Structure 1
Amino acid sequence: MNEIYSSPYDLVADALKVPRGSIKDADSMGQHPFWDSMRHLQIIVALEKSYQIQIPDSDIMKYDNMQAIVELFELKSGKRIQKSKGFKEWFKQSLVGKIFYK
């Protein structure tokens, strides 16, 4: 694999031209405000270049959500991705959250 991106979240964020933190596990085309059909094609091109694969036209819609993209990344890279935590879980681990959630 020609690893251009160290994370599928980085790949999608770059294709959508948004900050990495705005990409969540449940995001998909049409659900994320910047993930439309044109940006979806940019994600597909980035997947093909990054993983040196050819995604058939019939499979393009298979990768219209983060879960499928993460699974493809894990398959091609051999790496497991830790699912991003929700805000509450993240906050509990923060310095301020540790004070409130003793």
Structure 2
Amino acid sequence: MYGYPGAAFVDAAGEQLGRDPRRAPGDPATVTLAPGDSAWAGLRYASPGVSGADTAVPAALLVTPPDEREPLKVPWKAGAVPVSGNASSVFLTVLEPGTGP
């Protein structure tokens, strides 16, 4: 895989909440995974309580691996996310091997 995953917050009906996340600056590299290996990408946004952005609580995060068309549906348990207004941008980092920072 190479680059950034796709991502979208959705409500219980599967409707997208807010805009597509932006790509954070980074240097994409090819990530090769053997069966059972993992890769990750970061997701960041300003705290809605501090930024004043309008919020919603997603039911799930849809994640689409690079070069794929079908998203994986991940239940969202982290509370409200910014969906519009000041500082409402959500950013994704490049895909990296492993399970996270």
Instruction: Please tell me whether Structure 1 or Structure 2 has the larger radius of gyration of its CA atoms.
Output: 1
**Greater percentage in strand:** 2
Length-normalised TM-score, structure 2 = 0.25
**Greater percentage in helix:** 1
Length-normalised TM-score, structure 1 = 0.25
Q: Which has the higher contact order (CA 8 A, sep 6+)?
A: 2
